Amino acid sequence: MLSRAAAAAEEMGEAWEALDPPRALRALEKLVVEELTNWYIRRSRRRFWSGGNDAAFAFSTLHEVLGMVARMAAPATPFLAESLWGRLGESGSVHLAAFPDPSLPDTGFQPDSRDLALETAMDGVVRASTLGRAVRERTRIRVRQPLQKVLVHIAGASPEDGGARPQDYEDALREELNVKEVEWVEGTPDFLEVRGKANFRALGPRAGKKMKALAAAIAGLDREALFRIQGGEEVKVDLEGAPFTLGPGDVEVEALGVEGLEAASDGKVTLGLEVEITPELACEGLAREILNRVQTQRREAGLDLSDRIRLQVFGDDDLRDAVSTHGAWIGEEALAPGGVKWAKSSDEDGFRAWEIPGEKEIHILLEKVNPSPNPC
């Protein structure tokens, strides 16, 4: 996160020097919305709640990045930046603080603030996560429903200097996509069909009247050529008897799914998601839906995050099987020390009914458990 903040500061500084405010604000927006809010804060929730040193480190990083955001935003949103600066407990005015510049240590950066290998590795993971979620949305499979496997190919993701690799952050990708396995595919992926499409905006000025013939040549490129272009190499094609060089950005690679595998590609990352839902996966999916409803009921009851509860549920046989198989996990996640008790009926006062995908209904009764008195 600190490395990405340094990258955003570099790009913003260059944009302001070039008198290009839109570029500067796009860099800030990407940092705040995509990288800080949608990734770092969301991924760090458990760290924030955990207490101890890990929580302190997570909050420290967040505080540091927000301080940089306030200084980066100051030229464009002076009052918002000033308010954020004060809320962070900083002294003086943000407009008297130095603009973040990774090349100047006295502006808040360490000499090694940028870790390009780490940024590249995490970029591949974030792209794969985004593609996988898009596939889930397209196939209408909720993220709470576990799937067995995802296959991932990242063009040019083989550092030879021992730096960070996307594979080092496999756990994060597995959690983001809620899959049991991540299979990394090296070389030319052969797990799906691909098709090349010409980028008319990029190629039109170069190809001119030959653009239609060039588009046909690109459509005829084989899998190996397409993935070489995706990986940053150049490929030559025959254009009416003359060689024409294609490079990254000239060709869009469209991934086509095969039976049991839904595919997606963004030009750098190609992904195949196994979408078959076995009975075991379906059972776990129901358990996750139950936990989601329990957590929602906890919040609406006004319970604190650390409050322990007594938990009873009631529903049909499929829901009972899910509780029987995954009840210990549900109880642990919901802070129910006694686990999940299956009620004989939902007639007792206090039960609340919740809809579950598949036209099911779960009835939940939860009560706060008073802490045991201190025997001392």
Does one domain contain both 96 and 108? yes
Residue ranges making up the domain that contains 138: 118-190+257-277
Does one domain contain both 167 and 199? no
Q: How confident is the model at residue 238 (pLDDT cuts 50, 70, 90)?
A: confident
Does some domain include residue 375?
no
Query: Average pLDDT in the 118-145 region?
Result: 92
User: What is the pLDDT at residue 162?
Assistant: 60
Instruction: Give the DSSP letter of residue 98.
Output: P
User: Which of 181, 174, 197 minimizes the C-alpha distance to 253?
Assistant: 197
Q: How confident is the model at residue 194 (pLDDT cuts 50, 70, 90)?
A: confident
91: domain CATH number? 1.10.730.10
Give 159-190 pLDDT, tens digit per residue.
555 678 889 999 999 999 999 999 998 876 67
The better pLDDT of the pair 226, 13 is held by 13
Q: How confident is the model at residue 249 (pLDDT cuts 50, 70, 90)?
A: confident
User: What is the pLDDT at residue 350?
Assistant: 87
Structure-block tokens of residue 20: 């290009």
Give 54-66 pLDDT, tens digit per residue.
889 999 999 999 9
User: What is the pLDDT at residue 52?
Assistant: 84
Does some domain include residue 270?
yes
Query: Average pLDDT in the 178-204 region?
Result: 84
Does one domain contain both 88 and 11? yes
User: What is the pLDDT at residue 164?
Assistant: 82
Does some domain include residue 30?
yes
Does some domain include residue 180?
yes
Structure-block tokens of residue 107: 């502006």
Assess contact for 2 and 64: CB atoms under 8 A. yes
Does one domain contain both 263 and 149? yes
Structure-block tokens of residue 285: 């999916």
Structure-block tokens of residue 90: 């900083």
Does one domain contain both 264 and 127? yes
Query: Average pLDDT in the 259-282 region?
Result: 87
Report the alpha-carbon distance of residue 243 to residue 249 in Å, rounded. Answer: 18
Does one domain contain both 240 and 307? no
Mean pLDDT, the chain, whole residue set: 88
Give 329-356 pLDDT, tens digit per residue.
999 999 999 899 999 888 888 899 999 9
